[in-house]
Structure 1
Amino acid sequence: MYDKTTSAEFRKYGSVYDESIDVEKNDLIIKQIVTSDKVISSLYYFLEPTYIEVVEGMAAILISDSSNSNFKLFAIHRKLEIKPNMYFNIISMTDQITYNLIIPSRYNLKIEFLNPPYVYNRILPTISIPEIIAYYYTIKSPKYKFKGERHNLYELTFVDNGTLDTTVDGVNYILNSSDLIIYGKNQFHTQAVNNNSSCSYLTIMFDMKCDDDSLICNRVFHCRKELYDAVRTFAKNISATIPYSENLILCNFHEIIIRLFQYDYLGADDASLPKESYQHFQDELLEKIVAYINERISSPITIEEICNKFSVSRSSLQMLFKNNLNISPKKYINDLKLTKSKQLIKENKYTISEIAFMLGFNSIHYFSRAFTQKYEISPSEYAQTMFKE
Structure 2
Amino acid sequence: MIKNITKLSLANYGTISSIPYYDIQLDDVNNETTKIITTFDLNSYFIDTMNKTVINIEEGTAVLYTYTPGNDSRSFFLDKCVILNPNVFYKVVPLDNSCTIKIKFNKKTTSIQRSNTRLDFSRGIKSKLNIAKIYTLYYQEFDKFFSYKGEKHDFWEITYVDQGELSTLIDGREFILKQGDFIFYAPNQYHTQKNNSSVPVSFLTISFKMDFEQEDILKDKIFICDHELKSILEKILDEKNYNGVYSPDLIICYLKEFIVKLIRIISKKNSIKQLHTSMQVNTNNAFVNTSLEYIYSHISQKITVDELANKVSISSSYLSRIFKDVMGVTIIDYINNYRLDTSKVYIKSTDLSLTQIAEILGFNSIHYFSKQFKKRYGISPIVYSKSLKN
Query: Which TM-score band applies after superposition, normalised by the shorter structure?
Result: 0.5 to 0.7
Partner of 2:4: 4
The CA deviation at 1:72 is 6.3
The CA deviation at 1:257 is 2.6
Q: Return 2-11 or 152-161, whichever deviates more.
A: 2-11
Partner of 1:30: 34
Partner of 1:193: 195
The CA deviation at 1:194 is 2.5
Inter-partner Cα distance in structure 1 for 2:134 and 2:128: 18
1:60–1:325 Cα change, 3 Å? same
Partner of 1:294: none
Partner of 2:109: 109
1:124–1:329 Cα change, 3 Å? same
Deviations 1:176-209 (A, max 9, x none): 1111112233433221113222221111122222
1:243 maps onto 2:298 in alignment:
no
Partner of 2:63: 59
The CA deviation at 1:174 is 0.5
Q: TM-score with structure 1 length normalisation?
A: 0.58
1:189–1:89 Cα change, 3 Å? same
Structure 2 residue ranges without an equivalent (≥5): 25-29, 273-321, 345-378
Partner of 1:119: 120
Quick one: which amino acid aligns to residue 328 of structure 2? L
Partner of 1:362: none
The CA deviation at 1:277 is 4.0
Counterparts in 2 of 1:1-389, with a 5 A limit? Answer: 3-5=3-5, 13-15=15-17, 28-36=32-40, 43-45=47-49, 47=51, 50-53=54-57, 55=59, 58-62=62-66, 73-78=75-80, 80-82=81-83, 87=88, 89-90=90-91, 92=93, 94=95, 98-103=99-104, 107-110=107-110, 117-120=118-121, 123-267=125-269, 270=325, 272-274=327-329, 275=334, 276-278=336-338, 325-327=384-386
Quick one: which amino acid aligns to residue 145 of structure 1? S
Q: Return 5-14 or 133-142, whichever deviates more.
A: 5-14
Inter-partner Cα distance in structure 1 for 2:64 and 2:188: 45
Check the 8 A contact 1:133/1:206 in 2, yes or no. yes
The CA deviation at 1:59 is 0.6
The CA deviation at 1:146 is 2.1
Please identify the structure whose Cα radius of gyration is greater.
Answer: 1
Deviations 1:48-95 (A, max 9, x none): 66333365553124378xx777876532115x2526758351354748
Inter-partner Cα distance in structure 2 for 1:138 and 1:166: 16
The CA deviation at 1:255 is 1.4
Check the 8 A contact 2:59/2:101 in 1, yes or no. yes
The CA deviation at 1:172 is 0.9
Quick one: which amino acid aligns to residue 203 of structure 2? Y
Deviations 1:109-133 (A, max 9, x none): 3559999724356521232222212
Quick one: which amino acid aligns to residue 87 of structure 1? V
Secondary structure at 1:13's aligned position in 2?
strand
Inter-partner Cα distance in structure 2 for 1:211 and 1:279: 39
Secondary structure at 1:180's aligned position in 2?
strand
Quick one: which amino acid aligns to residue 272 of structure 1? M
Secondary structure at 2:327's aligned position in 1?
coil
Check the 8 A contact 2:131/2:210 in 1, yes or no. yes
1:31–1:168 Cα change, 3 Å? same
Deviations 1:203-228 (A, max 9, x none): 11222222243432332222244433
Quick one: which amino acid aligns to residue 273 of structure 1? G
1:132–1:214 Cα change, 3 Å? same
Q: Return 134-143 or 85-94, whichever deviates more.
A: 85-94
Inter-partner Cα distance in structure 2 for 1:279 and 1:133: 34
1:20–1:32 Cα change, 3 Å? farther
Inter-partner Cα distance in structure 1 for 2:74 and 2:255: 36
Partner of 2:374: none
Secondary structure at 1:243's aligned position in 2?
coil
The CA deviation at 1:247 is 1.3
Quick one: which amino acid aligns to residue 135 of structure 1? L
Quick one: which amino acid aligns to residue 138 of structure 2? Y
Check the 8 A contact 2:2/2:77 in 1, yes or no. yes
The CA deviation at 1:259 is 3.4
Quick one: which amino acid aligns to residue 90 of structure 1? K
